[in-house]
A and B are shown apart, each in its own frame.
Chain A
């Protein structure tokens, strides 16, 4: 799997390259600035890109802007954005083109290597990887939302794991239940939130995120 990496801190860049290569990713280019990143993304059209939000020259949200711009030029280009902090505003911007194949994670999450690699693979295959903190903020905001309050605690757990972008299988494994049980919970959640239940995993995730973002 071909990867473009955008990270300006040498320590972290080398660490990420080592990690990715250990899991058989092929890092085709590792760049350290916003403009170089945009060029690399458009030139290489990688299977997935891992991008730091804050990059030179401005050291603000250069990476995020490059990612959004690249996705405008190459629709559906899978990009996983890493950041030292999460902002719902940025999550919303990344999700706004409704194309999926995006991720937005705290940098801390790289320490759980398996989960992190999972997230990269998920984004590469058109899925979504949202940081639990984004989902927590969204759920906290939805505290007054009538349909959300009718969810059982278990259904809320399933909802947040699903919103993070996890597949039914992964949710089942995480909660120590069968996939069938997860499927039932999801059907209940979609019923209560009055959302159309789609067969496609990714589309379901995006529907849930759009719902949470609206309330």
Chain B
């Protein structure tokens, strides 16, 4: 470590200690929120309590939010806010949600604990630093005939002139060691109290799963109905017609060969149409090229068939599981269809990567922007279907463009390398 680094590190520690001291003051100030909140509840009976409670709760949540963010920065972990959302914006609903939310009461419990821990973790390192410096200052005061004690050693023993600075160094080393640890300790305690409790996290998870499962079941039922209808009105009807034409041709063959020939030609045409319809249907269920070539080939094939030039940039070390692969494919396909229909873009791109156990897909275009996942819209539908796999969808689309849609799906890749279509992309 060079001198320069040492100075910089020392400055960082000292800043940290100073901030800890400031935080200690903030922790004590936070205690004021306890009576404020508790007074607001009985006041609900006389109406003024309602706005008061909403105001005080908002204030308290900002306060705990600050500590949540600070602790998440110190510990480098994500600390989600545990609050329940009110079902509507009515004041009484909000009051009821706040009052019945366990997180409200956990916040309240956090305040005194935070005051004690915050003061200890803030004052202790600062005191150590100050004591360390005093170890060098006191011998000077002693020389000036100051009659004061440093820790437990006095001004009257000559040896103490050496001992005091040594003790000071000891304090400084201790301060150096303790400063970051005190902050971490405080942050750990804050996290314990401010992060959603295991029960709350599980409840939340169950709600998300129940929602996404209901969506999935709905979507699947609708899909099956569509397939049934398509088969019934399409290929099935055509096969009936085909049988009819063939039967009649058989009948007519000896009596009127010319008419039989016409019927046969008709039958052939019907069979072609039936095949075309089946092909269309199969593509919508599971595109053959996806089965053949995985996401790589399927997305390239998609790009080739797209009316706009689409650049595909895909780097995957293997193939995701089939259902995830299919979901990812259809999500990209539908997004690209949206691009062609609504964006007014002249070009689009697709980027696919896998990192940290997540498959990430990005689709961008140079169109007019302003895309959003409106209820009943295509993007909302994609979001719902991705949710079945715990996937997420994000949209960045300022008015005027460009638009970037980001999707993430948690999944593992099978180690089999996708046999890439060599040099043809």
A interface with B by C-beta (< 8 Å) = 54, 59-61, 84-85, 87-90, 92-93, 96, 106-108, 111-112, 137, 140-141, 143
Contacts and interface: CB of A to CB of B under 8 A. Distances in A.
Contact of A89 (B275, B282, B306, B424): B424
B292 interface: yes
A143 B288 contact: no
A141 B424 CA distance: 18
13 contacts: A54-B292, A60-B292, A85-B288, A85-B289, A87-B289, A88-B304, A88-B305, A89-B293, A89-B300, A108-B271, A112-B268, A141-B306, A143-B307
- Top 7 A-B residue pairs of the complex, sorted by shortest distance between their CB atoms: A60-B292, A61-B292, A89-B301, A88-B304, A108-B275, A111-B268, A108-B272
B160 to A, nearest CB: 87
Interface residues of B, number: 23
* Interface class of chain B by DSSP: helix
Nearest to B346: A144
A85 B301 contact: no
Nearest to A86: B279
Given A61-B293, A112-B268, A137-B305, A93 B275 contact: no
A92 B279 contact: no
A89 B268 contact: no
B258 interface: no
B29 to A, nearest CB: 65
B292 to A, nearest CB: 4
Interface of B: 268, 271-272, 275-276, 279, 282-283, 288-289, 291-293, 297, 300-301, 304-307, 421, 423-424
A85 B301 CA distance: 12
Contacts of B272: 108, 111
Contacts of A59: 291
A140 B424 contact: no
Contacts of B268: 111-112
Contacts of A143: 307
A90 B287 CA distance: 14
Given A84-B279, A107-B275, A141-B304, A93 B424 contact: yes
A128 B142 CA distance: 105
A89 B307 contact: no
A97 to B, nearest CB: 11
Contacts of B304: 87-89, 92, 137, 141
A111 B421 contact: no
B188 to A, nearest CB: 53
Contacts of A112: 268
Given A88-B301, A88-B305, A108 B424 contact: no
A101 B230 CA distance: 38
Nearest to B423: A96
Point out which of A61, A84, A87, A106 has the most chain B C-beta atoms below 10 A from its C-beta: A87
Contacts of B306: 141
Contacts of B283: 85
Contacts of B301: 87-89
B120 to A, nearest CB: 66
Contacts of A54: 288, 292
A106 B275 CA distance: 10
